[in-house]
Amino acid sequence: MMATGMNTFGVPGNLMSLGALDFGLIVDGAVIIIENCLARLAHRQEHEGRLLTLNERLEETMHASQEMIKPTVFGQAIILLSFAPLLMFTGVEGKTFSPMAITIMLALFSAFILSLTLVPALVALLIRGRVAEKEVWLIRKSKDRYLPLLDKALARPMPFIAGGLAFFLVAFPVFGLLGSEFIPQLDEKNLAVASTRVPSVSIDQSLAMQRKVEAAVAELPEVELMFSKTGTAEVATDPMPVNVSDGFVILKPEDEWPAGVDSKADVVERIEKAVSGQLGQVYEVSQPIELRFNELISGVRGDVAIKLYGDDLDKMSQTANEMVEVLQAIPGAASVKADQVGGAPLLDVELDRAMIARYGLTVKEVADTVATALGGRESGLLYEGDRRYDIAVRVPDATRVNLDDIRALPVLLPEEPGEIRQQIPLSLVANIQLTEGLNEIRRENGKRRVVVQLNLEDRDAGSFVEEAQAKIAQVELPAGYYLEWGGQFENLQAATARLSIVVPLAFVAIFVLLFMALGSAGRAAAVFLTLPLGLAGGIFTLALTGINFSVSAAVGLIVLAGVSVLNGLVVMTAIRERQEHGLPLVEAIREGMAEKMRAVIMTGFVPAIGFIPMAIATGTGAEVQKPLAVTVIGGLIAATVLTLLVLPSIAKVVLGAIENRRRKRDENASPIAPEPA
């Protein structure tokens, strides 16, 4: 059913859509149904004193499914709703996580349908022998230890509530200490080395310099080969000047690396050392996909970019160079560089108007002479079949690159009647020299732009930008000039801003579903209060494992919220049923928690176990999945333990307050006196 839905909605099968499937999460609904079916079958067998017939088994499983329809429907709806924020992502995060959300939602919906139809029928058909309602050794031992703690929580709920509140509050400063990044960096197994030279370099000289770089890198024993692309290809999908080369370094398998080279960081350090002897070049070491990824989404190749907007390119270039010096001193900054605004060679022809007038010439005549000689002029057409080509005439290339030859270009004087037309060298009417001019002018939103960009080494984007912003603020900007921070950090800000809107709306919708399922705002609030405890568990897990907060970790927290609430809903439903049967509050809570302890443990730990392969994976792409899996595993363990201890304490206080208020209202209600006859 999931595969059919993926084909229907055009969802591709990739690392995130299929790799993020958690079979433990999918079977949660079936676990609840089977657990209730087995309990009813055991009770019916004990009542009848014999094995049940097929019709009796079908009857009991049908009643068991009917009893769990409401909590199952609302529980699955809550989990589906917790994935809804992932569908609101846009840009790169939308392309990454939307297929995952759609796939999991399709799988959960299919599992929900089957858990209410196929699963009860299979239980009735396959469970033919004697069913004894007894627990396995692990559950029995856990319950023996749990029930005394439960009695303490019901006797003195406030210490347990205070402990849960402290657990949640401590998570705030811990979250502030976490590093932050957009998406974890993938290990592409290969490297990209971009070489930038002075803009005046020729294509031949640029190629010669790049070949030296390739030879130096290829000598490293861990490098399989290196190839490069210089300038713009014939198919100009990636326009670049001739002074820029993109080199791609293909590495050997890690088991073939020499001794002492243990990580990719060591390889990068060795490559930088190998090319450091090549003068006149600036290098940027990255990864092939990462380099293009950054360039496509933000227009820059670095992980972090500072975009400086203004009008005067000289002032902008000077300010950008000051920023480069500041950023180079910050730990974690690598390959810091600014756009090369100037440095392009120009032929400056300054016309001498006084001398032009003295020789009886016009400015247009002299300018046309220069343009014709150097740029060429159309002098005819060449026909080849149906095609025709313009024929342009200009001086030879050897003359065009020689400054003395250009100065000696003849300029014809005005023709005098009866005299031979005279000519003078161009140097008499123009001052000609080579200068440096603008290399490029980049614009964004109608403003001139100069970019300072860098890559990060052993540093998260969030903490680096926070430190860099404080130090860059000390660089004085010209009046009317302003900055924007871009790169991966820009995407992180956009995703965080969207989550800050969508996630609270999803939480409100979850509370509404809880209210509809439990029929009471107090019960809904008691269950909803377990949600932040699960989120706190996910945050502590990130801190303990040293993983930065990213969009992937945020997705894990969203998944965690749905499963945490599901456990609370199952427990509160059992407590409500016992209250409706007339049991006192404390007894209802104790019996409900004791009965549903096994279901809570299974619905909490089974999804956590399902995420373990993602958490321990080491292949390419595992970096994106790992924060999600680690967050869910740690959060579910914490949420399960806290649900078993804190939820009954909260239920005792909240539901007890509701009962006391109802009792006082009934006591204060005066009876209606009968009317006199």
In this predicted structure, what is the pLDDT of residue 133? 64
In this predicted structure, what is the pLDDT of residue 20? 59
Q: Can you tell me the distance from the alpha carbon of 613 to that of 19, in angstroms, rounded to the nearest whole number? A: 10
Per-residue pLDDT reduced to its tens digit, 367-417: 888 888 888 888 888 888 888 888 888 888 778 778 888 888 888 888 777
Reported for 120-125, long-range contacts at CB under 8 A and 24+ positions apart, including other chains, are 120/33, 120/37, 120/61, 120/62, 120/64, 120/65, 121/58, 121/61, 123/34, 123/37, 123/38, 123/41, 123/57, 123/61, 124/37, 124/54, 124/57, 124/58, 124/60, 124/61, 125/54, 125/57
Q: Please say whether the dihedral angle defined by the alpha carbons of residues 356, 359, 360 and 361, taken in this order, is positive or negative.
A: negative
In this predicted structure, what is the pLDDT of residue 17? 67
pLDDT over 80 (residue 89): no
DSSP state of 549: B
Q: Can you tell me the distance from the alpha carbon of 522 to that of 503, in angstroms, rounded to the nearest whole number? A: 22
335 pLDDT band, cuts 50/70/90, is confident
Q: Which residues pair with 342 in a beta bridge?
A: 438
Q: Residue 172 burial (CB < 10 Å; 0-12/13-18/19+)?
A: exposed
Which comes out higher in pLDDT, residue 30 or 586? 586
pLDDT-wise least confident of 18-22, 41-45, 261-265, 347-351: 18-22
Supply the pTM of this predicted model.
0.73
Q: How far is CA 626 from the centre of its chain?
A: 12
Integer angstrom CA distances of residue 1 from 31, 100, 106: 20, 16, 8
237 pLDDT band, cuts 50/70/90, is low
pLDDT-wise least confident of 169-183, 227-241, 401-415, 627-641: 227-241
Per-residue pLDDT reduced to its tens digit, 245-297: 888 999 998 888 988 888 888 898 899 888 887 777 888 888 888 777 777 66
Quick one: which of 642, 652, 628 has its CA closest to 557? 628
pLDDT over 60 (residue 585): yes
- Asked if 531 contacts 561 with a C-beta cutoff of 8 angstroms, the reply is yes
Residue 42, helix vs strand vs coil? helix
Reported for 123-127, long-range contacts at CB under 8 A and 24+ positions apart, including other chains, are 123/34, 123/37, 123/38, 123/41, 123/57, 123/61, 124/37, 124/54, 124/57, 124/58, 124/60, 124/61, 125/54, 125/57, 127/37, 127/38, 127/41, 127/57
pLDDT over 60 (residue 676): no
DSSP secondary structure string for all residues of 188-228: -SSEEEEEEE-TT--HHHHHHHHHHHHHHHHTSTTEEEEEE
Quick one: which of 54, 2, 1, 60 has its CA closest to 33? 60
70 pLDDT band, cuts 50/70/90, is confident
Q: Residue 361 burial (CB < 10 Å; 0-12/13-18/19+)?
A: buried
Residue 336, helix vs strand vs coil? strand
pLDDT over 60 (residue 675): no
Q: Can you tell me the distance from the alpha carbon of 106 to that of 180, in angstroms, rounded to the nearest whole number? A: 31
pLDDT over 50 (residue 349): yes
Helices (H) and strands (E) counted in the chain, each on its own, are 24, 15
Q: Can you tell me the distance from the alpha carbon of 238 to that of 246, in angstroms, rounded to the nearest whole number? A: 11
Side chain identity at residue 211, one-letter code: R
In this predicted structure, what is the pLDDT of residue 677? 44
Residue count (the chain): 677
What are 86's two structure tokens? Answer: 């992932």
In this predicted structure, what is the pLDDT of residue 186? 78
Q: Who's near 340: CB < 8 A, 6+ residues apart?
A: 196, 198, 199, 243, 439, 440
What are 316's two structure tokens? Answer: 């902008």
Per-residue pLDDT reduced to its tens digit, 143-196: 888 888 888 988 888 988 898 889 889 998 998 888 888 777 778 888 988 888
pLDDT-wise least confident of 320-329, 352-361, 412-421: 412-421
Q: How far is CA 598 from the centre of its chain?
A: 36
In this predicted structure, what is the pLDDT of residue 248? 92
Q: Who's near 523: CB < 8 A, 6+ residues apart?
A: 514, 572, 575, 576, 651, 654, 655
Per-residue pLDDT reduced to its tens digit, 470-490: 899 888 888 888 888 877 777
Q: Residue 22 burial (CB < 10 Å; 0-12/13-18/19+)?
A: buried
Side chain identity at residue 165, one-letter code: L
Percent of the chain residues past pLDDT 90, beyond the cut:
3
**Domains in the chain: ranges and CATH:** 1-134 (1.20.1640.10), 136-177+519-663 (1.20.1640.10), 191-338+441-491 (3.30.70.1430), 345-438 (3.30.2090.10)
In this predicted structure, what is the pLDDT of residue 111? 82
Q: Can you tell me the distance from the alpha carbon of 171 to that of 157, in angstroms, rounded to the nearest whole number? A: 22
Average pLDDT of every residue of the chain: 82
pLDDT over 50 (residue 339): yes
DSSP state of 178: S
Q: Please say whether the dihedral angle defined by the alpha carbons of residues 479, 480, 481 and 487, taken in this order, is positive or negative.
A: positive
Q: Residue 237 burial (CB < 10 Å; 0-12/13-18/19+)?
A: exposed
Q: What is the mean pLDDT of residues 449-457?
A: 85
Q: Can you tell me the distance from the alpha carbon of 319 to that of 322, in angstroms, rounded to the nearest whole number? A: 5
Per-residue pLDDT reduced to its tens digit, 606-618: 777 877 887 887 7
In this predicted structure, what is the pLDDT of residue 647? 86
Percent of the chain residues past pLDDT 70, beyond the cut:
94
Which comes out higher in pLDDT, residue 643 or 483? 483
- Cα atoms found within 13 Å of the Cα of residue 20, Cβ hemisphere only: 31
